[in-house]
Homo-oligomer: A and B are copies of this chain.
Amino acid sequence: MRSEDIAKLAGVSRSTVSRVINNYPNVPAATRDKVLKVIEQHHYEPNSFARALAGKSTDTIGLFAISMNENADASRIYQNSYFAPIVDLVVDTANAQGFYVLIHTIYSPGDFQKVKQAFLQKRIDGGILVGTQKDINFVSDMVGHGAPLVLIDYDITEIIAERLDKNHLSIINSRDYEGTVEAIEYLIKLGHREIGIIKGRMSTFSGRERYLAYESTMMKHGLPILDNFVLAGDFLKESAYREVLNLLHSGKLPTALFCSNDAMAVSAMEALMEHGVHVPDDISIVGFDDALLASHVSPKLTTVRLPIDDMSKAAVEKIIELCQSGQSAFSTASFPTRLVVRDSCKTPAI
């Protein structure tokens, strides 16, 4: 069933059928109704490709999740407490606005090619890029083609430094720095002075922000940053487990440990508990993200809530705006985090 068939059945031309479909004003109600009736009767749907070819938008946005270093079990990306809710919310928000979403994950640099293709082949009106390791060159490429792009969790200074044409670009961030400050100051207020950290992947904007905030807050309060209390990490639980084990073997523990995300916090707790170190009696733990798990482990994890809902929704709204308005100025939005106090912290024993 094509528009031509509808036209014949309704006794009009394809032009008129098209006008009805696209809600042109210059169609008399009578004609419109007549056409609409035929369309409904036959469950006609205009071929989306033909429409797109003829210049209409695709009503599809892309969602690309980058997860390059997450080695071995890389396919678990959506179970990752960070990606899952973003995918969730982006799909829902976009669907609610009448958009489909095309998803592709990026596990290797080669996958960037597929994403670029999605743009160049005009499969989508615009795209949202989320995840760490956003290659600045890739971003330049995309932006160069004038494709609307929204970046979630991206260091703005990098964009500025590249002097990109930022017309079709928008960045959505969370205020991780402030969230971390709040968490560290909460520990300090509880009476902690020896506060350690498990770092996130430092190639990541959030990884860096969370670490920097830790550092500067400690310094601001005149507290020492001890090398052996600064543990490396990459946001994955294995790294945290390993580092905490090392820490345990060193014999000396901090009274509190800030973990750059919940996955690592939970894993740290496990390592600690297994060695008879009790949380929060012997050591306080705070995480970051407020993942699903945080409220289910025991003790329930005190953590910094990431405004993933706000960010995801904002990303969709922004990309749709960029797609529709043809052009608009570079914009940035940054959403606040919130400390969620549960049961994994207490005043340190003397």
Contact = CB atoms under 8 A, between A and B. Distances in A.
A95 B105 contact: yes
A79 B292 contact: yes
Contact of A297 (B85, B111, B123, B297): B297
**Copies of this chain, tallied across the complex:** 2
Interface string A83-94: 011011101100
A88 B79 CA distance: 7
Interface stretch (A96-104, A188-196, A227-235): A96-104
Given A47-B121, A49-B122, A103-B101, A84 B91 contact: no
A121 B45 contact: yes
Contact of A91 (B48, B52, B92, B104): B104
Interface residues of A, number: 46
A75 B87 contact: no
A69 interface: no
A53 interface: yes
A50 interface: yes
State the 10 A-B residue pairs at the shortest beta-carbon distance, nearest first. Answer: A78-B88, A45-B120, A48-B121, A49-B49, A49-B52, A49-B53, A75-B92, A298-B298, A45-B121, A48-B123
23 contacts: A43-B120, A45-B117, A47-B122, A48-B122, A48-B123, A49-B49, A60-B102, A75-B89, A76-B85, A77-B92, A78-B85, A78-B88, A78-B91, A79-B88, A91-B105, A100-B102, A100-B118, A101-B103, A292-B292, A293-B293, A293-B296, A296-B296, A296-B297
